Structure 1
Amino acid sequence: MLITGAGGGLGSAAARVFAERGWQVFAADLVPPEPAPNQTPLTLDVTSTASVSAAIDTVAAGVPDGLGCVVNFAGVLGVGPLVEIEEDLLRRVLDVNVLGTYRVNKAAFPLLRAGGGRILNISSEVGWQRALPLNGPYAMSKHAIEAYSDALRRELMFVGVPVVVIQPGPFRTELTGGAAKALNAAVRPGSPFEALTARTARLAGRAAAGADPAELTEVIWTAATTARPRRRYSVRPDRGRRFLHHLPTPVADAMLRRTLGG
């Protein structure tokens, strides 16, 4: 098994559980975790095709008969007003979250096919919900993962490689915990979005606790090991966001205007 984004947070938690339960895990990240029983650290930059190729070569040497699963956890947060966000930041969010997933799956495909394996793409609740203000860059990337995963699943079903999407809500990680700080850092002094950003950051700070990562890890275990995995697993979506998503769009917009407009 190859898990990207395994240097910390949810990816690290998943890597530990699979290793403890007997899987041979390649735990990959820019700064990978320490070696552990059944867990091999692997330096990987998903934005570099050369780095991805080198990592897959290492995996192939360790599992010459093929790979049972790839879990694409590698991702970064991107927030801020879309008419102000720097192009380099937006490009990085899409490069890591979308193209990084594409690069890893493309390189790992021959090993997955040989090993009768499957792909787990980590999306988010924001991948299926209508995007909220100041969350555009991240939402764009996760909506793209949803579309990519649908197309990939419908291609790879013809060659026997299942593709599964995992859609976590807020869980306790550095990513969710740093959302308020990231929002405050994203707005320029004198921006017309200063007040909106401050109010949104306060709400993000209140929601930062999130659920226990162990719950998500168990869902990933099921998706990786069950004989017939679902196409999608939605895991603890935020109730407020889910409610807002299902409202008629004009009603939801009016509610956001009242809540965030001051």
Structure 2
Amino acid sequence: MNDKSEQELGTGVGARPAPVRYRTNPITSNPNSSAGEVALVGAGPGDPELLTLKAWRLITSAEIVLYDRLVSPEILALIPDSAEKIHVGKQRANHTLPQDQINQRLVDLAKQGFRVVRLKGGDPFIFGRGGEEIETLAGAGVRFQVVPGITAASGCAAYAGIPLTHRDHAQSVRFVTGHLKNNTCDLPWKDYVQTNHTLVFYMGLVGLPIICEQLIKHGMAPDMPIALISKGTTREQQVVTGNLETIVQRVHEEAVQAPTLVIVGQVVALRDRLDWVGGLPIF
């Protein structure tokens, strides 16, 4: 019989807990792949304290980091000095690297044996094009893992004091890209006009006039509350509220800058009722 005590084995009363062993799973691997691997890491909406522990561990141990423009300076500061930092951010009509070149760069670096972090604002799988990147990695036989991040809708709404759902006002929520392709409004607007529903538009600053116009045109009340959150969860967070008829002028008066998030629904009115003043991070 093994003569180790229960306490030594970590099974008895007062036993010390076993040391935490961080796992890199879930991970997709190919037995013929190189030693390198890629981690698609969600950096969240800006506040570094919203990073997951796993995201922090991978960022601080990376050898190469490819990062987007939406990753905050405070999170970029966590990257080791020894790591190579490559900016691959995209702005409207100004892409540092086209997406297909980013995909291929990830493959090439991993096949050279590097631990690569693809650092994305928000969550990689919510308007982050992470699905396109893992398709390329999987096709090339490169090991990869995906680390979710707090998406902007959740983080920005919470810091602005706007619940996305509420028992009395919204039983569902929908995330929509506000980055209208070719400046068109080819979206299922009629489907968006529902009662007890919250709409969240990502990247909706430029398309805000079209968004408001089309929602009203398809039956949404012109006095529906709407909020635009700029640089959410950061020290520069700005929240502008109004309704579908007034918000465009309000945003112009306040000189709101991207990145922004647009929230439409009765839940926006709760912010004023709560007299919300908290939520901003202290760095």
- The answer to whether TM tops 0.5 is no
Give the TM-score normalised by the residue count of structure 2. 0.36
Structure with higher Rg: it is: 2
Give the TM-score normalised by the residue count of structure 1. 0.38
Structure number with the higher helix fraction is 1
Structure number with the higher strand fraction is 2
